[in-house]
């Protein structure tokens, strides 16, 4: 069954997310020490969406924000910033 059509009113077009993280991993290596700070982050944020990033100290908030802010790159996965 199709949705009823209202003259002059159309459904808003789906917009792609402005922030699109897929399977983002970040591995810090210092000599022999290897630390996986992000273990596969999937996040999509829509235009105008209000988002809070919360977690205990050391959970990777700053690491994630550095990737979203293009100050650092993921070790694996993809980040698309379409804003």
Ligand X SMILES: Nc1ncnc2c1ncn2[C@@H]1O[C@H](COP(=O)(O)OP(=O)(O)OP(=O)(O)O)[C@@H](O)[C@H]1O
What would the two tokens of residue 22 be? 């897929």
Measured distance CA(23)–CA(39) in Å, rounded: 8
57 binds, among ligand X, Mg ion, none (CB under 5 to 8 A by kind): ligand X
- Rounded to a whole number of angstroms, the minimum distance from the CB of residue 10 to Mg ion is 43
Closer of 5 and 57 to ligand X (Cβ): 57
Which residues of this protein are in contact with Mg ion, per CB under 5 A? 61-62
**Distances from the Cα of 51 to the Cα of 25, 42, 54, angstroms:** 20, 14, 10
Quickly count: other Cβ atoms within 10 Å of residue 43's Cβ.
Answer: 15
Which residues of this protein are in contact with ligand X, per CB under 6 A? 28, 30, 35, 37, 55, 57-63
- Rounded to a whole number of angstroms, the minimum distance from the CB of residue 18 to Mg ion is 22
């Amino acid at each position: 069954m199709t949705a009823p059509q209202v003259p002059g009113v159309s459904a808003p077009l789906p917009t792609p997310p402005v922030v699109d993280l897929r399977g983002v991993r970040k591995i810090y290596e210092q000599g022999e020490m290897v630390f996986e700070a992000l273990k596969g982050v999937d996040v999509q944020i829509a235009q105008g969406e209000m988002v809070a990033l919360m977690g205990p100290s050391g959970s990777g908030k700053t690491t994630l924000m550095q990737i979203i802010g293009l100050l650092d790159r993921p070790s694996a996965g993809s980040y698309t910033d379409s804003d």
